[in-house]
Structure 1
Amino acid sequence: MKFALIDISPMVLGLLRFAFLLFPAIFFKRPDVP
């Protein structure tokens, strides 16, 4: 279980960072783009 968590840790961090960068971009650009 611990091994799986360590293996998924970097993946989750990457996904979180990607979402953090994508969320604001889409949220702020959505109203701008018709």
Structure 2
Amino acid sequence: IADELENKRLYRFADQLRGAGMSMSNNTRPVK
């Protein structure tokens, strides 16, 4: 169970990182 929780947190963290990177590289147009 702890493993699954860790996976979810890692996944969300990676998703936020990817979103931040995309908005940084594409800040001329909105990313949705």
Structure holding more helix per residue: 1
Whether the TM-score (by the shorter chain) exceeds 0.5 is yes
Structure 2 residue runs without a partner (length 5+): 28-32
Say which one has the larger Rg.
1
Consecutive unaligned residues in structure 1, runs of 5 or more: 1-5
Aligned residue pairs total 27
Q: TM-score, normalised by structure 2?
A: 0.59
Name segments (4+ residues, structure 1) moved above 2 Å: none
User: Looking at both structures, which has the greater relative contact order when contacts are Cα pairs under 8 Å and sequence separation is at least 6?
Assistant: 2
- What is the RMSD of the two structures over their aligned residues, measured on CA atoms? 1.4
